[in-house]
Structure 1
Amino acid sequence: MPRFAANLSMMFTEWAFLDRFKAASDAGFEAVEFLFPYDYACEQVGLALAGGELQQALFNLPPGDFANGERGIAALAGREDEFKAGVETALRYAHETGVKRLHMMAGLADPEDEKAQATYRASLAYAADALAPHGIDLLLEPINGRDMPGYFLNDFDRAADYVREAGRDNVRLQFDMYHCELIHGDVAGKLRALYPLVGHVQIASANGRHEPDSAGPDYPSLFALLDELGYDGFVGCEYRPKAGTLEGLGWFSEYRKPEGKSDPLDLA
Structure 2
Amino acid sequence: MKFSANLGFLWNELELPDAIRAAKAAGFDAVECHWPYDVAAADVTKALQETDLKMLGLNTRRGDVAKGDNGLSAIPARAKEAQAAIDEAINYAVEIKAQSIHVMAGFSSGPEAHKTFIHNLNYACAAALPHGICILIEPLNHYDAPGYFLTTTNQASHIIKEVNADNIALMFDCYHVQLTEGDLSHRLADLMPIIGHIQFASVPDRGPPDHGEVNFKHVFRIITQLGYKAPLGAEYKPVGPTQDTLGWMSKHA
TM-score range, shorter chain: over 0.9
Aligned match for 2:145, one of 148, 168, 183:
148
How many angstroms apart in 1 are the aligned matches of 2:66 and 2:53? 28
Residues 1:119 and 2:126 aligned together: no
Aligned match for 1:251, one of 227, 230, 248:
248
Counterpart mapping for 1:183-222 below 5 A: 183-222=180-219
Query: In the alignment, which residue of structure 1 is the partner of 2:98?
Result: 99
Deviation at 1:97, TM superposition (A): 1.6
Contact 1:178 1:204 in 2 (8 A): yes
Deviation at 1:62, TM superposition (A): 2.1
Q: Deviations over 1:188-237 (max 9, x none)?
A: 11111111110000000012100011313111111111111111222111
Query: In the alignment, which residue of structure 2 is the partner of 1:224?
Result: 221
- Aligned residue pairs: how many? 253
Contact 2:90 2:101 in 1 (8 A): no
Residues 1:159 and 2:156 aligned together: yes
How many angstroms apart in 2 are the aligned matches of 1:222 and 1:7? 19
Q: What's the C-alpha RMSD, in Å, of the aligned pairs?
A: 1.4
Deviation at 1:13, TM superposition (A): 2.6
Residues 1:20 and 2:22 aligned together: no
Q: Deviations over 1:135-171 (max 9, x none)?
A: 1111010000100111000111111110111111211
Aligned residue for 1:79, secondary structure, equals helix
The one-letter code of the counterpart of 1:61 is: T
Deviation at 1:52, TM superposition (A): 2.5
Counterpart mapping for 1:124-135 below 5 A: 124-135=121-132
Aligned residue for 1:56, secondary structure, equals coil
Gaps of 5+ in 1: 257-268
Deviation at 1:60, TM superposition (A): 0.7
Query: In the alignment, which residue of structure 2 is the partner of 1:262?
Result: none
Query: In the alignment, which residue of structure 1 is the partner of 2:49?
Result: 50
Gaps of 5+ in 2: none
How many angstroms apart in 2 are the aligned matches of 1:162 and 1:40? 32
How many angstroms apart in 2 are the aligned matches of 1:3 and 1:186? 23
How many angstroms apart in 1 are the aligned matches of 2:15 and 2:133? 28
68 and 54 in structure 1: CA distance in 2 versus 1, 3 angstrom threshold? farther
Aligned residue for 1:151, secondary structure, equals coil
Aligned residue for 1:128, secondary structure, equals helix
How many angstroms apart in 1 are the aligned matches of 2:39 and 2:108? 29
How many angstroms apart in 2 are the aligned matches of 1:149 and 1:50? 39
How many angstroms apart in 1 are the aligned matches of 2:155 and 2:38? 32
Q: Deviations over 1:75-95 (max 9, x none)?
A: 111222222222221122112
Moved more, 138-147 or 184-193: 184-193
Contact 1:137 1:170 in 2 (8 A): yes
* Identity within the alignment, %: 38
Q: Deviations over 1:173-197 (max 9, x none)?
A: 1000000100011111111111111
TM-score (norm 1): 0.90
Contact 2:16 2:39 in 1 (8 A): no
How many angstroms apart in 1 are the aligned matches of 2:98 and 2:15? 22
Higher relative CO (CA 8 A, sep ≥ 6), structure 1 or 2?
1
Structure 1 moving runs of 4+ over 3 Å: none
